[in-house]
Structures are given as structure tokens and as C-alpha cells.
Structure 1
Amino acid sequence: MKMKLALFCYSFNVIGLFIFGLIYTFSGEFLPFHSDAIQMSWDDLSSPQQTLYLGMMRTEGAGLLASAIAIAALLMFPFRKREVWSYWAMTLIGVVENVPSMLGAYYTSLATPASSPWQLNLLGIVLLVLGLAFALGDRKR
């Protein structure tokens, strides 16, 4: 049962990171909370500003997708074999992706009128830690 819970926790991160990675990578303009943060609409930005925003979003999207793919690969192979190192690797990959994103979104929410979704990153981090605890707790002693 603990391994199923761990699988859920890690899979939630894979799905979330993958969905947001796709959104950030393939969006043609910034998201509504970005507009709220800078108090400008996409159409009010100059072409160079739009290019810069899309470049930053695609860079973030690539990191999200890379993290999702890495965790998914670890789930498919070493996790299924109950290789303990994979539990730590998945947690580390997810935390390294989620913490900076969460901090950036959190500080944006504090400093601007935007409601950046930092809570989703926090949920991902909590689930990663729970996934690690469940997986390690299932080990036969």
C-alpha cells in the first residue's frame, strides 16, 4: 500500500510538471497572472518584450518538461524494481524544479497584484517528500 501511495505522489508531480511544461513551452503569450503582475496586457508589450517573456516562459517550460520526463523514467524502471536510489533521485529532481519556481511565484504574489500559483509548487514539494517517506517506509528490514 505504501508503494502505491508513493507512486501516486510521484505521478502527481509528473502530471503537473508535464502539463505546466506544455503550457509554458507552447503558449503564444504570457498567462493572466503575468499580466496582473506587470499590470499590462500582452498587446501593450513591444515585440522585443514579448520575445523576452516567451523566451523566459519556454526556458521554464523546458525545465518543467525535463523534470517530468526524468521522474517518469525513474518511475518506469528503477522505482518498479524498488531501487532505493531512485526514490531519492525523483525527490531531488522534483524539489530542485519546484522550489525556485515556488519562490519566484510567491515573491511575485507578495510584490504585485498577481495571484501566482505558488501553492501548486508547494503541493508538489509536499507530495514529493511524502512519496519519499512512503517508499522508504515500505522497505523490508
Structure 2
Amino acid sequence: MNKTLACTFNLLASVILMVLGIIYLFNPQYMPYHRQAVSLPWEEVPMEFQKLILALMKALGGAYLAVGITISLLQIQVNKTRNTLAVIIIFVSGIVVTISSLYASLLVRINTPGKAPYYLALLGGILLIAGLYYNIKQTKAHKKSATC
């Protein structure tokens, strides 16, 4: 049961990251909340700033995608081997991206008219914490049964 719950929570977090990664990587212009933040339609943003914004979106999208894939692959590894280091890497890599995304979203919401979607970062963080909890329970139960 712990294995299933840990897997479900972490894979849901990774799916959120991968979907966001794909959106940011392949979107040809900025997001609706970016438009709210700068109060300009995409066409009126100077070309230099368009290139800068798109470059930052691509970098963030790549990071989201990489961390989402990492979490998925490591969770499969944890399910097979109960590797404690993999459990830690899943949580740390996911929570770093989650906290930095939450921070960035809140900066936009507090300092601009943009309504950056912080709720996905918050949900991802909750899923990662739940996944960590059940992964730890799974590895502890496995160690107990292995030593008996």
C-alpha cells in the first residue's frame, strides 16, 4: 500500500511538471498571466524582450521536464530496490523546483497585476511531501522485513 501511494503521489507531481514543461517549451508567446503582469499584448512587447522571455520560458520548461522525468524514473527505481538515496533525490529535486516556482509566482502576484498560478506549485509540493512520507514508510518496512 505504501508503495502504491508513494508511486501515485510522486508520479502525479512528475506529470504536473512534465505537462508544464511541455507548455513552456512549446508556447510561441508568453502566458496569459505574463500579459497581465506587463499590461501589454505579445505583439507590443519589443522583440528583444520577446526573445528574452521566450528563452527564460524554454529554460524553465526544460527544467520542469527534466525534473519530472527524473522523479518518474527514480520512483520506478525505488519501487524495485527501496533505494533511500533515490527517495531523497526525488524529494529534493522536486521540492527545489516547486519552491522556486512558488516563489516566482508569488513575486509576480504581489508586485504586478499578473495572477500567476501558484496553486500548481503548491499542489506539487503537497504531492512530493506525501510521496516522501510513503516512500520512507515503504523503505523502513522493507528494511525491517529484510533483517528479520
| Unmatched 5+ stretches in structure 2 | none
What is the root-mean-square deviation in Å for CA atoms of aligned residues? 1.1
| Aligned-residue offset at 1:115 | 1.2
TM-score (norm 1): 0.94
SS in 2 for 1:80: helix
Q: Provide the rounded CA distance (Å) in 2 between the counterparts of 1:87 and 1:80.
A: 12
Task: Give the count of matched residue pairs.
Answer: 141
**Aligned position for 1:45:** 45
Q: Provide the rounded CA distance (Å) in 1 between the counterparts of 2:74 and 2:56.
A: 27
Identical aligned pairs, as a percentage?
A: 26
Q: Provide the rounded CA distance (Å) in 2 between the counterparts of 1:63 and 1:56.
A: 11
Q: Provide the rounded CA distance (Å) in 1 between the counterparts of 2:53 and 2:127.
A: 30
| Unmatched 5+ stretches in structure 1 | none
| Aligned-residue offset at 1:44 | 0.8
1:45-78 CA distance string (max 9 Å, x none)? 1111111110010011111011011111112224
- State the 4+ residue runs in structure 1 displaced beyond 6 angstroms: none
Q: Provide the rounded CA distance (Å) in 2 between the counterparts of 1:76 and 1:5.
A: 13
Which of 1 and 2 has greater Rg?
2
Q: Provide the rounded CA distance (Å) in 1 between the counterparts of 2:20 and 2:80.
A: 26
Establish whether residue 115 from structure 1 lines up as the match of residue 115 from structure 2: yes
| Aligned-residue offset at 1:83 | 1.4
- 2:13 partner letter: N
